[in-house]
């Protein structure tokens, strides 16, 4: 199955994993709605919606860059409408936008608490809700949310309660919607990396350049997402998926090319949270 002619709505697609997924789908000739906040270059972060659009076009797809804050209902509604007007519908939604703060309870400001919950949980719910009428019309509709499997080990809560709950709420939303819309044929799944991924979040929150060296590239998540999108939506739903496991199922057994340092032994890679 190819993604040629399919339309993907990707939140937070100006950089990192969102952009990698956009480029992978674009290589098939897909249409990409780039829904992200960054319209002007940031002094500390690479990429804008316009540089992402250029990358999509270079890869072989069509791009529609839109300034979207997933916390803003009016902006989300307008972006969905504009995307549908441009490409005729929406076939795949990727809830990639996310906020992180690995702070303990006493150190988490309510401003940061609200940001994480408004982007991670509320944003995922809102964007999915607005895309649903169009996904229902697609031949093989998928919703993929970048959130972890539900692991109730207290170890994953104790150091960053607010962040963990905001991410788990994304996963709970997908689990619930998979059941709610099982008779409609829309796939709702979650995807999470086995190892840390070298993105801006790594640099800013989890250890910077040193951690990046023992991480994988965003392309592993893009390749796993692509495999998911090419599965039959009416049977491949309600799953908490791990990037490496997805690719092994697809026949991939060599992963060194996904590493920031290809020469690094696999057992030295840093495992991601929640696994």
Active site residues: 163
Reduced to 3 states (helix: H, G, I; strand: E, B; else coil), residue 195 is: strand
Q: How far is CA 37 from CA 42, 49, 75, 97, 246, in A?
A: 11, 8, 11, 10, 30
Max intra-chain CA distance, the chain: 49
Q: List, in sequence order, the alpha helices (H) in 29-109.
A: 49-59, 73-87
Asked whether 222 and 28 are in contact (CB, 8 A), the reply is: no
33 touches 87 (CB < 8 A):
yes
CA distance 30 to 28: 6
- Other Cβ atoms less than 10 A from the Cβ of 155: the count is 10
**Pick from 48, 43, 41: which is nearest to 13 by CA?**
48
Compute the distance between CA of residue 14 and CA of residue 45 in angstroms, rounded to an integer: 10
CA distances from 243 to 43, 169, 214, 247 (A): 31, 20, 16, 6
Bridge partners of residue 195, in order along the sequence: 271
Q: Tokens in use for 153?
A: 């080990």
């Amino acid at each position: 199955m190819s993604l040629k002619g399919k339309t993907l709505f990707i939140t937070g697609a100006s950089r990192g994993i969102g952009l990698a997924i956009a480029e992978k789908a674009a290589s098939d000739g897909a249409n990409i709605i780039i829904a992200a906040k960054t319209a002007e270059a940031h002094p500390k972060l690479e990429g804008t919606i316009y540089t992402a659009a250029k990358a999509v076009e270079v890869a072989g797809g069509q791009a529609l860059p839109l300034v979207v804050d997933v916390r803003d209902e009016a902006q989300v509604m307008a972006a969905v409408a504009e995307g549908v007007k441009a490409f005729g519908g929406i076939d795949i939604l990727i809830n990639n936008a996310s906020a992180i703060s690995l702070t303990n309870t006493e150190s988490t400001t309510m401003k940061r608490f609200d940001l994480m919950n408004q982007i991670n949980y509320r944003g995922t719910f809102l964007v999915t809700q607005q895309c649903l009428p169009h996904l229902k019309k697609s031949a093989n509709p998928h919703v993929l949310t970048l959130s972890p499997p539900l692991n109730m080990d207290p170890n994953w809560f104790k150091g960053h309660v607010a962040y963990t709950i905001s991410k788990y709420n994304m996963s709970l939303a997908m689990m619930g919607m998979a059941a709610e819309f099982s008779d409609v044929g829309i796939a709702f799944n979650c995807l999470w990396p086995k190892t840390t991924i070298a993105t801006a979040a790594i640099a800013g929150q989890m250890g910077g350049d040193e951690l990046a060296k023992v991480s994988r590239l965003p392309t592993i998540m893009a390749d796993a997402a692509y495999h998911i999108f090419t599965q039959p939506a009416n049977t491949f739903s309600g799953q908490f998926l791990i990037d490496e496991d997805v690719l092994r199922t697809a026949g991939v057994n060599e992963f060194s090319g996904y590493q920031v340092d290809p020469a690094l032994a696999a057992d030295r890679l840093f495992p991601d949270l929640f696994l």
